[in-house]
Amino acid sequence: MNFSSGLTLDTTWHALDPIWQGDVQNIQQGLPHHQLAPTWQMLLLGDGSPTRHLKLLTRERIEVDVIDMSRVGHDPDAAPVQIKAVPAPRLRRQVWLRTASGQRLAYATSWWDAGHIDEYLQNRSLPIWDNLSQLHSELYRDIQGLYYGHSSALAAAFQKNGPFWGRHYLFWHSGQPITLIYEVFSPYLQRYLGPMGLG
């Protein structure tokens, strides 16, 4: 981990360069099936745990490779505007979600209140959902944005060409936002979900 006691902003995170971007209205209504197939909409627009969904799809344990843990302080860090809801100073955590056999399925960046991250991520090598479910926390996943776009870094990491689908959302607990999460899914998931768009 690149976690250090000082302020570090030397590690960038991988935002998509969007071809198309959706807002809360698109998320609530859903997208035309030719744009995003129903199976992919269930993954991207549903409020369930992505790690749980990935485990069900692949029938493998989903593991987390933590690639960055950086203090970003009060910096907006080029994150979605909803980062303002997460109290500062903040920590940024970047991970790969992969199967136990090594297939990368998703990339995620999350921003946390530095003063409270240890309450929610007691084991930082576990997926966020596993940490929070061990606490028996009541949670609400508030999806705020949807993206379809490119990233050369993610194309190299997934060993798949884009464009990719991604989203960002706030996690709420006891009426308070605890983290902002930005996720991008690998096209490898077409093996289980079928084509990303119909038509």
Where in the chain are the domains?
17-193
Question: In this predicted model, which residue has the larger pLDDT, 148 or 141?
Answer: 148
- CATH 3.40.1410.10 applies to domain 17-193: yes
Please choose, from the candidates 77, 82, 105, 99, the residue with its C-alpha nearest in 3D space to the C-alpha of residue 187: 105
User: The pTM is what?
Assistant: 0.87
Q: Bridge partners of 182?
A: 109, 168
- Name the average pLDDT for the chain: 86
Q: Which helix (H) or strand (E) holds 67?
A: strand 62-73
Instruction: Find out whether 107 and 154 touch, Cβ atoms under 8 Å.
Output: yes
Question: In this predicted model, which residue has the larger pLDDT, 11 or 157?
Answer: 157
Question: In this predicted model, which residue has the larger pLDDT, 122 or 20?
Answer: 20
